[in-house]
């Protein structure tokens, strides 16, 4: 009798370094590879991320010899139908830790379906890195030291042969999600992830400690979307890093992702609520025309506007400018961070709930950093420092392409700065910085 096991793909759309897939293969003669389209999540997902997922599913299907089952519906009904149809006795998964995924898997198991968990999307799963007293870390640097000391496994081998059942025609419900007109996103899939990683290693990894902050060059890994969808595992990246400053900087970036996952795991309410509660009582302005100008990249601050337009076009934003635009929204416009986090959720292809919520809270001042609210990013000086020649601005704000550095960072200071109708500044940064610090004084503990 043929033994069959279901492998339920979720945030692990790859074959290499996938321990859960190996466990399914080893426990059966044939696997039933499936991806279930979750209608609730689809309704909350932006068009660029949906288009990326559609492309990633096609890539995964190709690597499986066109055997991937793509089904739409309630997870319980889909899994029960497949178990009955194929006589499958096991359902294998990679464990997830976000609130929605945990609740979904708990519901499945309470119905009587056993889920066999192997591995996770992280080098070190949330909850594993602990202080000596057994509690979780609240600050990044000691977490990082504990994370490195804990260590991680070597990458799991890629299966040499995968015997999978032949799906029926009505099992092949691949979505036809298209990109919005004018949008350009990074190529999706495991093959694309490995190609980008190899390119980054050759061109920018060895100078990452410097290049990662320069918005106008291709100096970052651009692995975030591949990691979000599990097209590559962080272990695969970590295994190739050495002890140089550049590689150490990249290792720390991977650790930030895992730190935020750990923080959210222990504080699930912080997905949309304040990590530091007193910031909920700060005076904020109601969202309105200024929020819309920020969303459209029409604030009058070139470095901010270039970043927001990059997000709208590519579904991605340089990490340096993510901090700058977040600071501008919260501390120059005095708008609560959740409005920005929701906009990022709508547009980012690499959207990760833990990194998004806690990245925003770190910049907003309510997150895990000890006293970051005093850190108010100057959008002019940030542009001059990290886009010195203005190349990044010219790429995304063509109205200013005629200006040379340093004029491009302060177009209001030159006669032809508004030659092509670039908008005036919606606020005065110097004044709003003082206002933000004044509002902080109001909620300081006695």
Identify whether residues 302 and 405 lie together within a single domain: yes
- Read off φ and ψ for residue 401, nearest 5 degrees: -65, -20
**Do 101 and 131 lie in a common domain?**
no
Structural domain boundaries enclosing 368? 277-441
CATH number at residue 345: 1.10.579.10
Q: Packing angle between helix 302-314 and helix 337-347, nearest 10 degrees?
A: 40
For residues 71 and 379, what is the distance between their CA atoms, to the nearest angstrom?
46
Question: Quick one: 289 and 429 in the same domain?
Answer: yes
CA 239 to each of CA 147, 205, 226, 242, 280: distance values in angstroms, whole numbers, following the listed order? 15, 14, 17, 9, 41
Please check whether residue 171 lies inside any domain of the structure.
Answer: no
**13 domain residue, yes or no:** yes
Angstrom distances, CA of residue 1 to CA of 23, 30, 88, 217, 412: 19, 11, 11, 58, 77
* Within a domain: 147: yes
Quote the pLDDT of residue 185.
95
The predicted structure's pLDDT at residue 373: 67
- Taking the C-alpha atoms of residue 42 and residue 30, their distance in angstroms, rounded to an integer, is 30
Q: What is the mean pLDDT of each run of 10 residues along the chain (446 residues)?
A: 94 98 97 94 91 97 98 95 95 95 95 96 97 94 97 96 96 94 95 98 97 95 97 98 98 98 97 95 96 98 98 96 97 98 97 97 89 84 97 97 95 90 97 96 86
For residue 168, being part of any structural domain is answered with: no
Handedness of CA 9, 10, 14, 17 (dihedral sign): negative
What local confidence, expressed as pLDDT, does residue 354 receive? Answer: 97
For residues 327 and 27, is the Cβ–Cβ distance under 8 A?
no
Two tokens, residue 133: 């007293």
> How many Å apart are CA 33 and CA 35, to the nearest integer?
7
Provide the pLDDT for residue 371.
62
What pLDDT is recorded for position 39?
87
Residues 6 or more apart from 385 whose CB is under 8 A from it?
Answer: none
In this prediction, residue 115 carries a pLDDT of 97
For the chain, what is the domain count?
3
Contact of 185 with 349, CB cutoff 8 Å: yes
Dihedral sign for Cα atoms in the order 11, 16, 20, 24: positive
Query: Helices 379-386 & 302-314, crossing angle to 10 degrees?
Result: 70
Give yes or no: residues 23 and 64 share one domain: yes
| Same domain for 204 and 85 | no
Task: State which of 71, 100, 120 marks the end of a domain.
Answer: 120
Do 84 and 212 fall within a single domain? no
């Amino acid at each position: 009798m043929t033994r069959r096991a279901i492998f339920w793909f979720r945030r692990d759309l790859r074959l290499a370094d996938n321990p859960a897939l190996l466990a399914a293969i080893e426990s059966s003669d044939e696997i039933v590879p499936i991806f279930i389209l979750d209608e609730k999540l689809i309704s909350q997902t932006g068009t660029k991320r949906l288009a990326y997922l559609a492309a990633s599913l096609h890539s995964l299907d190709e690597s499986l010899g066109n055997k991937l089952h793509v089904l739409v519906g309630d997870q319980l009904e889909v899994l029960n139908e497949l178990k009955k149809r194929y006589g499958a006795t096991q359902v294998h998964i990679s464990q997830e830790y976000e609130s929605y995924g945990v609740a979904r898997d708990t519901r499945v198991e309470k119905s009587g379906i056993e889920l066999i968990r192997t591995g996770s999307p992280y080098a070190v799963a949330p909850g594993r890195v602990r202080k000596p007293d057994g509690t979780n870390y609240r600050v990044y640097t000691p977490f990082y030291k504990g994370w490195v000391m804990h260590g991680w496994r070597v990458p799991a081998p890629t299966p040499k042969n995968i015997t999978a059942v032949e799906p029926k025609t009505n099992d092949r419900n691949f979505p036809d999600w298209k990109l919005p007109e004018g949008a350009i996103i990074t190529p999706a899939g495991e093959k694309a992830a490995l190609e980008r990683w190899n390119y980054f290693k050759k061109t920018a990894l060895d100078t990452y400690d410097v290049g990662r902050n320069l918005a106008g060059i291709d100096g970052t890994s651009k692995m975030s979307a591949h990691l979000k969808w599990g097209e590559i595992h962080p272990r695969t990246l970590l295994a190739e890093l050495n002890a140089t400053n550049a590689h150490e900087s990249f290792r720390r970036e991977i650790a930030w992702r895992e730190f935020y996952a750990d923080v959210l795991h222990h504080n699930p309410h912080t997905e949309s609520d304040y990590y530091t509660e007193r910031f909920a009582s700060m005076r904020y302005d109601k969202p309105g025309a200024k929020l819309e100008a920020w969303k459209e990249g029409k604030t009058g601050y070139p470095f901010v506007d270039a970043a927001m337009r990059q997000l709208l076009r590519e579904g991605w934003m340089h990490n340096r400018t993510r901090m700058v635009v977040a600071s501008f929204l919260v501390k120059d416009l005095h708008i609560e961070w959740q409005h920005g986090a929701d906009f990022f959720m709508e547009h980012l292809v690499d959207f990760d709930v833990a990194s998004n919520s806690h990245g925003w809270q770190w910049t907003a001042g309510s997150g895990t950093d000890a006293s970051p609210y005093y850190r108010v990013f100057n959008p002019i000086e940030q542009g001059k420092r990290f886009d010195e020649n203005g190349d990044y601005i010219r790429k995304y704000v063509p109205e200013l392409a005629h200006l040379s550095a340093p004029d491009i960072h302060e177009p209001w200071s030159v006669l032809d700065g508004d030659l092509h109708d670039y908008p005036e500044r919606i606020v005065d940064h110097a004044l709003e910085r003082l206002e933000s610090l004044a509002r902080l004084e109001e909620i300081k503990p006695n």
